[in-house]
């Protein structure tokens, strides 16, 4: 342990401390270490370091050293980072997770007023687009989680009472996405199945004198509210006859709405005679066509469904505070005793990723994105397609919890960290070489065997094994491999220092010459057995053992080669492209393999 810092000390000790924290930071954040986090840990670990870096020369040396360490750590696969952290510093992934758990709340809090076996929750999306991560993390997951935690009932309710916004395909997508995440429901309700119920209940409101037909335009009604002037239709059109006029088609779309009678003196304009039902007769409903022409608005359908379904707990965004008041007014007008517990949370937005459906729809129409599963989106379809595991999404949901604080521009690195933990145990490893260079190695044997595990630590998963035979040219045995141009700097440093590089699971080599204009690197075999402290790179054999691969990333399509045994992977399989990142096979076409990139 370094106690006093100064550059009369052994700089290797400082580098060792930086390596420890860079590895730990990378393991905690999906395989990528952050300079600021590592430097802050150095300040804590090494007394006096903060004072030392006031000297500009020493500051540059320290930052350069940290950057060099981080570059090395980030070049390792997640598995290598975990293994090195444990082997060198005795810090395991389990220890890190247990330490985090000891510092924070374990699990989600108790649900207020919950009685085991009596809890009824609901998730009520509108089929206006694909589900996105923000909807799942709280409204969907928490509603499902608490229903299961208390042996209760979880309802999936499709809010489809606006035919101008809903689309048929989204009904199916909602159910597909929830099932893919393992969020199975106990009851499925379509609000469009209940129009007759809404109509019958509306008759009751008119009979009680609690509703009326309003012929004011929206602008005219707002002016009346602002002037505290009662709507002229309020007492003239509050009978069942006027409601039946609407049902029988006396009024056209936009000419009449049904309003609830409330306090016209309310300080909140939204609470003054809120609309309950309106006419839509120009657009057919995807499930009922033109059979109905009067559709309930959100608050009216919502409270009726919650009441008639026996919902005990509504978990939703805090922005619904006004809606909650309106819904209680409607319940009071019916004379219903409401025992619903409202649990509210803050909104979550994600940095650099459009989540609002109107923005996505606009981008679709302008061809700025390829679809609802475009890799740049945080829709569930996109995340699952690119290799985010359902368990990682659930882990993020519990991590985010149910706080009322808004979480703005949440970085997706947290989700990626959870995903790396899940996939490190199940993802098949493969080598993907992007923008390849040909590595021409002088070797000693007629047969060289390359062997790497499909899943490190899982013997039952087996190994990827290749028997490579060099070509003899003028008495020299030459083996050709593809290596990534991304490793060019590493190769050049090895050449200049006469250092050794490890080809993972194959051999150790020394770089002898480089002809970059012709994409060729010349090397010689040093030894077969692994050497400690040697940097490793991945490879793909040149020739029949190379399969063309295309990797879809947020920045475009990356081309290269994957190793031959990748042909065994099936569509939908999770993979870790070693030293490149996690992803998912979307099309294995034998001669060509298409992969969607998830994250590093």
CB-CB contact of 503 with 511 (8 Å): no
Residue 479 has a pLDDT of 97
Residue-by-residue DSSP string for 340-361: PEEEEE--EEETT---SHHHHH
**Please, what is the angle between helix 240-247 and helix 195-207, to 10°?**
150
Q: Which residues contact 106 (CB under 8 A, 6 or more apart)?
A: none
By CB atoms closer than 10 A (0-12, 13-18, 19+), residue 401 is middle
Q: What span, in angstroms and rounded, lies between the C-alpha atoms of 262 and 329? A: 8
Residue 35: C-alpha distances to residues 42, 52, 69, 74, 512 (Å): 11, 18, 9, 11, 33
Residue 36 has a pLDDT of 85
- Which tokens is 494 given? 């090895």
Residue 188: CB atoms within 10 Å? 11
3-state secondary structure of 214: strand
Q: What are phi and psi of 575, to 5 degrees?
A: -135, 155
In the DSSP assignment, the letter for residue 476 is E
Residue-by-residue DSSP string for 18-39: HHHHHHHHHHHTTT---HHHHH
Q: What span, in angstroms and rounded, lies between the C-alpha atoms of 92 and 544? A: 40
Q: What is the pLDDT of residues 492-523, one digit of tens each?
A: 999 999 999 999 999 999 999 999 999 999 99
The residue among 505, 581, 589 whose CA lies nearest residue 548 is 589
Helical segments of 347-475, H only: 357-365, 380-385, 390-400, 413-423
Residue 279 has a pLDDT of 98
Q: What are phi and psi of 290, to 5 degrees?
A: -100, 15
Residue 104 has a pLDDT of 42
Q: Which residues contact 350 (CB under 8 A, 6 or more apart)?
A: 133, 134, 378, 409, 410, 411, 412
CB-CB contact of 409 with 210 (8 Å): no
Residue 106 has a pLDDT of 46
The residue among 140, 167, 136 whose CA lies nearest residue 364 is 167
Residue 3 has a pLDDT of 29
Cα-only R_g, the chain: 31
Q: What are phi and psi of 356, to 5 degrees?
A: -70, 135
Residue 65 has a pLDDT of 87
> Structural domains in the chain?
11-103 (no CATH), 120-191+345-421 (3.40.50.620), 192-302 (3.40.50.620), 428-600 (2.40.240.100)
Instruction: Report the side by side order of strands in the sheet with 120-123.
Output: 120-123, 153-158, 187-190
3-state secondary structure of 260: strand
Structure-token match 């940095």, residue found? 351
The residue among 61, 16, 66, 60 whose CA lies nearest residue 40 is 66
3-state secondary structure of 305: helix
Element (H, E) at 443: strand 436-443
Residue 440: C-alpha distances to residues 309, 495, 521 (Å): 71, 14, 6
3-state secondary structure of 460: helix
Q: What span, in angstroms and rounded, lies between the C-alpha atoms of 350 and 137? A: 12
Q: How many CA atoms lie within 13 A of 445 on its CB side?
A: 13
The pLDDT averaged over each successive group of 10 residues in the chain (600 residues) is: 36 80 86 84 73 70 87 86 86 71 60 96 97 94 97 98 97 98 98 98 97 95 90 93 96 96 88 96 96 97 98 93 94 95 88 78 90 94 97 94 82 91 96 97 95 95 96 93 96 93 97 96 95 93 97 96 97 97 97 96
Can you say whether the dihedral through the CA atoms of 218, 222, 223, 227 is positive or negative?
positive
List Cβ<8 Å contacts ≥24 apart for 472-477: 476/442, 477/442, 477/443, 477/444, 477/445, 477/446
CB-CB contact of 271 with 322 (8 Å): yes
Structure-token match 């969907």, residue found? 140
Q: What span, in angstroms and rounded, lies between the C-alpha atoms of 119 and 512? A: 71
- Which tokens is 384 given? 């699952």
Residue 15 has a pLDDT of 86
468: Cα separation from own chain's centroid: 40
3-state secondary structure of 185: coil
3-state secondary structure of 95: helix
CB-CB contact of 524 with 478 (8 Å): no
CB-CB contact of 509 with 534 (8 Å): no
The total number of residues shown for the chain amounts to 600
CB-CB contact of 452 with 429 (8 Å): yes
Q: Which residues contact 191 (CB under 8 A, 6 or more apart)?
A: 157, 158, 159, 160, 161, 296, 301, 305
The residue among 2, 36, 32 whose CA lies nearest residue 17 is 2
Q: What span, in angstroms and rounded, lies between the C-alpha atoms of 341 and 4? A: 58
Q: What span, in angstroms and rounded, lies between the C-alpha atoms of 140 and 121? A: 10
Structure-token match 């687009």, residue found? 129
């Amino acid at each position: 342990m370094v106690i006093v810092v100064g550059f009369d000390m052994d700089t290797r000790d400082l580098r060792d401390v930086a390596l420890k924290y860079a590895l730990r930071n990378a393991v905690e954040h999906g395989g990528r270490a952050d300079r600021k986090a590592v430097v802050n840990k150095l300040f804590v670990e090494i007394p006096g370091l903060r004072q030392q870096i006031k000297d500009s020369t020493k500051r540059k040396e320290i930052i350069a050293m940290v950057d060099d360490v981080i570059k090395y750590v980030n070049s390792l696969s997640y598995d290598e980072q975990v293994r090195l952290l444990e082997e060198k510093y005795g810090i395991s992934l389990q220890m890190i997770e247990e330490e985090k758990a000891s510092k924070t709340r374990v699990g989600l809090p108790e649900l207020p007023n919950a009685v085991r076996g009596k809890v009824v929750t609901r998730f009520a999306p509108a089929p206006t687009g694909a589900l996105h991560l923000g909807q799942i993390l709280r409204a969907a997951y928490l509603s499902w989680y608490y229903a299961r935690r208390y042996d209760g009932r979880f309802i999936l309710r499709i809010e489809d009472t606006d035919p101008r916004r809903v689309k048929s395909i989204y009904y199916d997508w909602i159910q597909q996405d929830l099932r893919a995440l393992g969020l199975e429901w106990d009851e499925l309700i379509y609000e469009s199945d209940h129009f007759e119920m809404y109509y019958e209940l509306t008759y009751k409101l008119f009979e009680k004198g609690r509703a009326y037909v309003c012929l004011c335009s929206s602008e005219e009604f707002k002016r009346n509210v602002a002037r505290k002037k009662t709507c002229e239709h309020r007492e003239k059109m509050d009978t069942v006859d006027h409601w039946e006029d609407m049902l029988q088609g006396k009024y056209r779309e936009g000419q009449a709405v049904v309003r609830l009678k409330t306090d016209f003196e309310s300080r909140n304009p939204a609470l003054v005679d809120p609309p309950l039902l309106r006419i839509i007769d120009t657009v057919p409903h995807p499930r009922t066509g033109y059979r109905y022409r009067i559709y309930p608005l959100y608050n009216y359908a919502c409270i009726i469904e919650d009441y008639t379904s026996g919902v005990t707990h509504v978990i939703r965004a805090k922005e619904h505070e006004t809606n909650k008041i309106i819904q209680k007014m409607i319940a009071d007008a019916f004379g219903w005793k409401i025992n619903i517990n409202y649990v509210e949370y803050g909104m979550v937005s994600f940095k650099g990723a459009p989540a609002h459906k109107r923005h996505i729809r606009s981008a679709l129409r302008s061809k700025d994105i390829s679809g609802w599963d475009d890799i740049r989106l945080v829709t569930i379809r996109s995340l699952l397609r690119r290799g985010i595991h359902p368990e990682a999404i659930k882990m993020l949901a519990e991590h985010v919890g149910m706080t009322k604080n808004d979480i703005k521009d949440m970085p997706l690195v947290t989700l990626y960290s959870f995903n790396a933990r899940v996939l490190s145990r199940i993802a098949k490893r493969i080598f993907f070489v992007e923008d390849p260079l040909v590595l021409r190695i002088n070797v000693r044997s007629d047969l060289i065997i390359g062997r790497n595990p499909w899943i490190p630590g899982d013997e039952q998963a087996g190994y990827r094994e290749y028997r490579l035979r060099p070509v003899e040219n003028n008495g020299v045995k030459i083996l050709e491999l593809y290596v990534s141009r991304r490793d060019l700097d590493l190769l050049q440093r090895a050449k200049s220092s006469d250092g050794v590089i490890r080809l993972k699971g194959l051999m150790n080599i020394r770089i002898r010459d480089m002809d970059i204009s012709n994409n060729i690197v010349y090397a010689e075999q040093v030894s077969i057995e692994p050497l400690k402290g040697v940097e490793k790179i991945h490879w793909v054999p040149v020739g029949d053992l190379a399969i063309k691969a295309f990797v879809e990333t947020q920045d475009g399509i990356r081309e290269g080669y994957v190793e031959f045994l990748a042909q065994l992977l099936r569509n939908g399989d999770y993979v870790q492209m070693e030293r490149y990142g996690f992803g998912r096979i979307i099309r294995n076409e034998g001669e060509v393999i298409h992969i969607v990139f998830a994250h590093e």
